[in-house]
Amino acid sequence: MTPRILIITGASRGIGAATARLAGAAGYDVLVNYVSNADAAASVVAAIESAGGRAFAVKADASTTAGIATIFTAADARGKLAGLVNNAGVVDAKSRVDEMGEARLTRMMRTNIVGPMLCAGEAVKRLSTLHGGAGGAIVNVSSVAAKLGSPAEYVDYAASKAAIDTFTLGLAREVAAEGIRVNAVRPGIIDTEIHASGGQPDRVARVRGMVPMLREGTADEVAKAILWLLSDQASYTTGALLDVGGGR
């Protein structure tokens, strides 16, 4: 039986890693993409394999054409693409818009929207019945920031995720008749390392009280939503923006 490959970008930590572990348990051969932390990626692969699943790590920058080519070439060598999770993303230091520079904005948009669009294009070439594929699913990881705007914090990040939402809706309708479902999850305050990477390691504790459920979410809770959208249980769901934000 030809392996069913699921590509997860930025899968060495946080939501990506949690999704990779669940996907391995669900029977996918998981491509664990990472940029720099080889040990973390190897740990995710080891966890999947120790649970009886199959996975392999691929070092590549999913925001560049060369990196994306590396990812998809590795997937093609291992089996048949079944799906893509566009998870890789960045935040930056808390800032007002009038304090942001071109370098920050370029990095934000290239990583958070240009890269995912290019990855999705490569996935469509392999999944679409128009190109001889058997169909499949794409899940984009957005954020509730897309509808909140994140004023005086990171409007650039929120804008990049709003672009992901619009991209999800457009692509879903574009390829719906070609056997591909395209959806997005919009996590809220989730307890992962991304807050520290943006210089706010205390952010979860600071904003927890703003969530109607009065708690942060976990990476596993988001991962379960992603796995549902990938699965046949969501066979009539496309163009959906699924909030996983505790009511926020």
What are the tens digits of pLDDT across the range 11-63? 999 999 999 999 999 999 999 999 999 999 999 999 999 999 999 999 999 99
- Find, among 3, 9, 16, the residue nearest to 226 by Cα: 16
State mean pLDDT over 201-217.
83
Taking the C-alpha atoms of residue 137 and residue 194, their distance in angstroms, rounded to an integer, is 25
Structure tokens at 239: 């163009």
* Cα–Cα distance, 192 to 45 (Å, whole number): 19
Closest CA to 116 of 151, 152, 166: 166
Cβ atoms of 7 and 83 closer than 8 Å: yes
Q: How far apart are CA 194 and CA 68, in angstroms?
A: 22
Summarize pLDDT for 76-94 with one digit per residue, the tens: 999 999 999 999 999 999 9
Look up 28 and say whether it is catalytic: no
Q: What residues does each domain of the chain span?
A: 4-244
pTM of the complete model: 0.95
> Could you say which of 3.90.550.10, 3.40.50.720, 3.30.9.10, 3.40.190.10 is the CATH number of the domain covering 4-244?
3.40.50.720
Catalytic residue selected from 28, 34, 157, 236: 157
